[in-house]
Structure 1
């Protein structure tokens, strides 16, 4: 069951990344024609629907602990997870949530604004950082094999996703983004990573 859980997370990440790729977007744009403006909404609905069975598997998998968690570890892990959730919520405030969700449509050739304010001045991918805190905090809180596998799979997915996302951002914003890469950490605030 743990192997299935691990590969479910990786499969979800692969589908999510494929759908976010320029190659897939361009393919869909050819097929959808004028309806391509609905792509972001379609992408988010599919991502949400595909996440449901993965989360169901995550929560239904038997909990085998790797060691007995102390009260301090449990509290620390929950604190880290809550901090990650707060970080995600603050990061989302820096985006146009209507556009981010796909509810508000933009023209396909419209270039998004290059933003470096809010949490983006400390880390290039604040939502991903929050997700890492959330998942690794869950592992610290319960030290279970399923939490560890979930955290490892999500970390692998995010590292691969960030690699491709960075390439897209360099294509869109060019030298401006390259300078930003040199000055702001990718995933962990205040570290050169």
Structure 2
């Protein structure tokens, strides 16, 4: 077992604690939020992950790769560096957006369009950071995180597209121009 098997979960813990504390200062959400719809969607993702882990025909291969990862210092170091980069980007983007942050697909009271800082390169740097952190966890901790990446990446694209519909409604003059200047999640690509 390498030290990175402790570092990667510690980075996720720091991320979760910061996220929970910083959510307390966000602007109030407007309108009726369909919390049950979001809960069903997220619950469905969890069920998909559990089913994939439980019934995958490649379980033996996954165990072998996992055993190799547990002793690879190089994979641990690369994974931890990517997790640190991803968590750092998500936290920096969250700090930069400030009180305008909200739960995915929610409307905020007195919204402001933030287009500088990390938002000058991608419209959803928090999602970018989380995807990077999951990728790093798959490399440095366990290949099983790859299943989470396969499940959550499409969810983040879905959330980003839905949020962009809301942003076009709230900022009809500015948001289309901002969309032309930046990519959604991956700088210069997507």
TM-score interval for Structure 1 and Structure 2 normalised by the shorter chain: 0.5 to 0.7
Aligned length: 144
CA distances 1:74-122 after superposition (whole Å, capped 9, x unpaired): 2101110111111111111112348647xxxx75xx4x11111111111
Cross-structure match for 1:137: 136
Contact 1:65 1:143 in 2 (8 A): no
SS of equivalent to 1:187 = coil
* SS, match of residue 96 in structure 1: helix
User: Counterpart of 1:25?
Assistant: none
1:80 to 73, 79, 82: 82
**1:161 matched to 2:159:** yes
Higher helix share: 1
Query: CA offsets per residue over residues 130-165 of structure 1, 9 Å max, x none?
Result: 000110110011342x21111111111111111211
Query: Counterpart in 2 of 1:184?
Result: 182
Q: Residues of 2 paired with 1:126 and 1:65: CA distance?
A: 34
Runs (4+) of structure 1 exceeding 6 A deviation are: none
Q: Distance in 2 between matches of 1:126 and 1:143?
A: 24
TM-superposed deviation, 1:37? 5.4
Give me the TM-score of the superposition, normalised by structure 2. 0.61
Query: 2:113 & 2:93 partners in 1: Cα distance?
Result: 15
Give 5+ residue unaligned stretches, structure 2: 1-28
Q: What are the within-5 Å matches in structure 2 for residues 13-24 of structure 1?
A: none
Q: Contact 2:83/2:135 (CA < 8 Å) preserved in 1?
A: yes
Aligned to 1:18: none
RMSD of the alignment, in Å? 3.5
Structure 1: runs of 5+ lacking an equivalent: 1-35
